[in-house]
Chains A and B, each alone.
Chain A
Amino acid sequence: MAKDLSARIRHQVLDVHLSIPLEREAPVTVVFGPSGAGKTTLLRCIAGLVHLGEGSRVALGDEVWHEGRRTVAVRHRGVGYLFQDHALFPHLSVAANVVYGMGKLPRALREEHLRRALKNARAEHLLGRDTRSLSGGEAQRVALARALASAPKLLLLDEPFSALDAPTRDQLRGELRQILLETGTPALLVTHDRAEAWALADRMVSLVDGAVQQVGGVGEVFNHPATVSAARAVGVENILPGHVTADRGDTIEVQAGGLSLVTHNPEGLALGESVAVCVRAENVTLTAAGAGPNSREVVNRFTARVSQTKERGALHQIHLDTDPVVTAYALGSGAQSMRHLGELVSVEVPIEHCHTIRVP
């Protein structure tokens, strides 16, 4: 009995037409995009916190929340909203915060619901604590309990972990999915963090400049972006513009600047068409030049020099002196990279990781 959340929203920066299935077994839809893409505004529009014009429509299943001039008030929509900064009421106790949304519930049932909500959010130990003394992670747990306590039809999460330190973030992220599955709460989560999207999403919406670029599974959206903007939004490091120079049946050859790459052709691209070849940096393999099998026999293998290295924790981001510049990752330790500046390396871009997009 999956319902759909459907939204057609025209509001200042947003121009969105979207339909998302809300399933108990696959509850999390992640809205992913760079800062300023309009992710939070989208969430606020769905919650009803933003006044929408006549051209917009928001509906959950057959429950229409906004259409034309008719709008269901925020408080009657039955959504849960988790703010970036938890937004707990500082003057109320933890318990009073959690039962805040249970106005209509008989008093006798509140205690039971309070305990269940705290248990669901793994926040039982916080009962009795002073709200102002909670740490960021604890406060977010209580906020989650508060949002879940009124059994929302849809939970909206606005970068709920961005204000937390890394270990707490990882822990809560892992638990959140479990909690949503246990309580059967469909959720729409906004984030610009790739790791978060990978960890949580059952499906993803990529949003750039107020427009939906793509809706699909996480792997699909990350590895097979539909447009160049979508590829940029999901952080594909290598977006190489070029055009098709040869058609070999199931594969095509693309000339991108000084590089000639062979890719699969599921989209049926024709000779001469403008395309962009997308390759994630982690899929570009670097080996010492001269090592491995004869370079002529492997497609998409060429030699290049390392032109720049940037430290990214255990991984080092390597720029190559190709035209256009190709980015890859190499292991490193501290400031020491496995690859040195100016070193000649053998580069391989496996054909299965080349994703070709038509450029209109």
Chain B
Amino acid sequence: MDWAAVELSIRLAMLTTLILIILAVPLAAWLAYSHQRWTALIEAVVALPLVLPPTVLGFYVLVALGNQSPIGRWWTELTGSPLAFSFNGLLIASVIYSLPFAVQPMVAAFVGVDRRLLEASTVLGRSWASTIVRVVLPLSRTGITTAAVLTFAHTIGEFGVVLMVGGNIPGETRTIAISIYDSVQAFDYDTAATTSLWLLLFSVVVLGLTYGLNSKGRTTWPRI
């Protein structure tokens, strides 16, 4: 078992989830409640990572973060180290790559909140932001949990983007998925099998727990 890779993967997934939940709430609220001309366009852009091959996405992120780009140069000047092939670069790529997994469940949950409650809150003197925090978020707990779990699990399992942006630097960018690939390349099937099994079990447990907790209060088909 490559424990450094496990630790790295979990750290990456946790940070990605944290950042995305914070970013996705206002974005999802905007997508759910505003009907401007470009809402659909933004929605499409958010969904892009679902359809693009990770390599395409990884390629663009790599170009955008590399030392040839303004962002890359600015970051290098600021911190003294490049963004590409670093943990921070990997984190940015992960956030972009998992964006739809965080935003879409939230949009679905936000749309499901009874409009009257939002109106009641506004009439009672609450601002837009206050209404989101006090009414929408508490009533969208299921959707937010789903968003967090999907983001976490998706980040743990990502491969193509990591390879493109992060490469394979132990302790810096070598995640579990890369580690498994590495083991197979080196004909170390035993390590690959162990790591794969752990990853599989972990995923089943996490998803099972989430769906189990979320299924409370769900409508059931009437018994005949």
Contact = CB atoms under 8 A, between A and B. Distances in A.
A103 interface: yes
B138 A91 contact: yes
A90 B139 contact: yes
B117 interface: yes
B116 A85 contact: yes
The A interface is mostly helix, strand or loop, or mixed, namely loop
A76 B117 CA distance: 17
Interface in B85-123: 114, 116-117, 119-123
B57 to A, nearest CB: 37
Interface residues of B, number: 17
A87 B125 contact: no
A100 B114 contact: no
B124 A146 contact: yes
A150 B124 contact: yes
A81 B119 CA distance: 9
B126 interface: yes
Contact of A74 (B117, B123, B134): B123
Interface in A295-313: none
Given A90-B139, A91-B138, A91-B139, A101 B124 contact: yes
A75 B134 CA distance: 15
A79 B123 contact: yes
Nearest to B116: A87
A103 B125 contact: yes
Nearest to B141: A91
Contact of B123 (A47, A85, A90, A103): A47
Contact of B116 (A74, A83, A146): A83
A87 B138 CA distance: 15
Contact of A75 (B116, B117, B126, B139): B126
A80 interface: yes
A241 B117 CA distance: 47
A75 B123 contact: yes
Contact of A80 (B123, B126, B134): B123
Given A89-B135, A91-B138, A91-B139, A83 B120 contact: yes
Given A89-B135, A90-B139, A91-B139, A75 B120 contact: no
Given A87-B114, A91-B138, A91-B139, A49 B124 contact: no
Interface in A22-76: 47, 49, 74-76
A69 B31 CA distance: 25
B120 A87 contact: yes
Nearest to B122: A74
Contacts, number: 51
Contacts of A47: 123
B194 interface: no
B127 interface: yes
Interface string A111-150: 0000000000000000000000000000000000010001
Contacts of A74: 119, 122-123
A76 B138 CA distance: 24
A181 B204 CA distance: 62
Most B CB contacts (10 A, CB to CB) among A75, A79, A83, A101 go to A75
Contact of A101 (B119, B125, B139): B125
B135 A75 contact: no
Interface string A72-112: 00111011110101010111000000001101100000000
Nearest to A49: B119
A240 B126 CA distance: 52
A106 B116 CA distance: 27
A89 B118 CA distance: 10
A40 to B, nearest CB: 12
Given A89-B135, A90-B139, A91-B138, A75 B119 contact: no
Interface in B41-60: none
B211 to A, nearest CB: 21
Contacts of B120: 81, 83, 87, 89
Contacts of B126: 75, 100-101, 103
B139 A81 contact: no
B132 to A, nearest CB: 13
Contacts of B123: 47, 49, 74-75, 79-81
Which 7 pairs show the lowest CB-CB distances between chains A and B?
Answer: A101-B124, A87-B116, A87-B120, A81-B123, A91-B138, A75-B125, A74-B122
19 contacts: A47-B123, A49-B119, A74-B123, A75-B123, A75-B125, A75-B127, A83-B119, A85-B116, A87-B114, A87-B116, A91-B139, A100-B124, A101-B124, A101-B125, A101-B126, A103-B125, A104-B125, A150-B124, A150-B125
Given A87-B119, A103-B125, 6 more contacts: A49-B122, A75-B126, A78-B125, A89-B117, A146-B124, A150-B124
